[in-house]
Structure 1
Amino acid sequence: MQLNHYLNFNGTAESAFEFYRAIFGGEFAMLSRYGDLPNENSASLSDAEKNAILHISLPINAHTVLMASDINEQFCAQRNIPFTQGTNHYISINLDAHEQDEAHRLFDALSQNGAVEMPLEETFWGALYGAFTDQFGIQWMINCQLKNHVS
């Protein structure tokens, strides 16, 4: 299991991560845009929304990856939480395919008495993924990569 920081931005994820890359060095492990979503999900997006960052990750060292996305109301509607600069942070738990039972256990236990943003379910990027705010107001993501995603 790996714990990482996941940040949300209001349209500035790419600029922020270019800045972080200039400081920490390295290359992006992944950069995908909302326009890369399957067509049924991205058809209603404007060109500007399609260009926004869906997911970006920058390995900092062998144990830490900084990740982020730009928020999009169409895909974040379940949150009902307005974007607030400074509180746009998740703890992301990343697990391997053989840890699916642990992903379910952690999701169920940590989200108890909290608010589920997205149920733990299989996604188009080949992962078992879910997001929630725990009973103490801390935002979490569980991502159990089931197969390699090719963007």
Structure 2
Amino acid sequence: MQLDCYLSFDGNCEEALNFYAQCLGGKVTLMRFETAPKDSGMEVPPGWEKKVMHGTLDAEGAQIMGSDVPPNMGSGGKFAGFTVSAWVKEGPDRARKVFDALGAGGKVVMPFAPPFWGGHFGMLEDKFGVPWMVSCE
């Protein structure tokens, strides 16, 4: 079994996935609403044709997926009740770089440091409002 996170944005999914690619490495692939078949029944509001219907960041064997959620399909950009966890295998120096990169323009909740249980750990909310935990041995 593999579990991945799927984030719903309110129009800035492409920007967010590209930001995560800068922070974590990896490659972003995007599918836009304009590529949906006309008979799909999907009602896309004017101006949303180029927004992300589905996007994926593949980073070192991990995936972050996401999409833009048009107002008529629900709501995106409201991140609560979960935290994205990044376990960095390369050690504390790389984990610190990931933590600092993800935190750029965001808010540190718990500074990246050795916690009482060992290793290194920190919590933050990125500039898109997504909560993160970054840890390593």
With structure 2 as the length reference, what TM-score do the two structures score? 0.51
Counting only pairs closer than 5 Å after superposition, residues 59-138 of structure 1 correspond to structure 2 as: 59-62=58-61, 64-76=62-74, 82-83=75-76, 85-87=78-80
Percent identical pairs in the alignment equals 25
1:35-54 deviation digits (Å, cap 9, x = unpaired) = 11111237853442111111
Q: Kindly name which structure, 1 or 2, has the bigger radius of gyration based on alpha carbons.
A: 2
Letter of the structure 2 residue corresponding to residue 87 of structure 1: A
Contact 2:54-2:67 at 8 Å conserved across structures: yes
Letter of the structure 1 residue corresponding to residue 11 of structure 2: G
SS of the aligned residue for 1:16 comes to helix
1:40: which partner in 2?
39
Question: Which sections of structure 1, spanning at least 5 residues, go unmatched?
Answer: 77-81, 92-151
Counterpart check, 1:5 vs 2:5: yes
Letter of the structure 2 residue corresponding to residue 67 of structure 1: M
Letter of the structure 1 residue corresponding to residue 52 of structure 2: I
Counterpart check, 1:58 vs 2:57: yes
5-14 or 41-50, which deviates more: 41-50
SS of the aligned residue for 1:50 comes to coil
Question: Which sections of structure 2, spanning at least 5 residues, go unmatched?
Answer: 85-137
CA distance in 2, matches of 1:43, 1:71: 12
CA distance in 2, matches of 1:57, 1:44: 22
1:145: which partner in 2?
none
Contact 1:7-1:88 at 8 Å conserved across structures: no
Contact 1:35-1:42 at 8 Å conserved across structures: no
Contact 1:9-1:88 at 8 Å conserved across structures: no
Tell me the C-alpha RMSD between the 2 structures.
Answer: 2.8
SS of the aligned residue for 1:17 comes to helix
With structure 1 as the length reference, what TM-score do the two structures score? 0.46
How has the CA–CA distance of structure 1 residues 56 and 84 changed in structure 2, closer, same or farther, with 3 Å as cutoff? closer
SS of the aligned residue for 2:27 comes to coil
CA distance in 1, matches of 2:23, 2:71: 30
1:143: which partner in 2?
none
Contact 2:25-2:60 at 8 Å conserved across structures: no
Q: CA deviation at 1:67?
A: 0.5
SS of the aligned residue for 1:48 comes to coil
SS of the aligned residue for 2:23 comes to helix
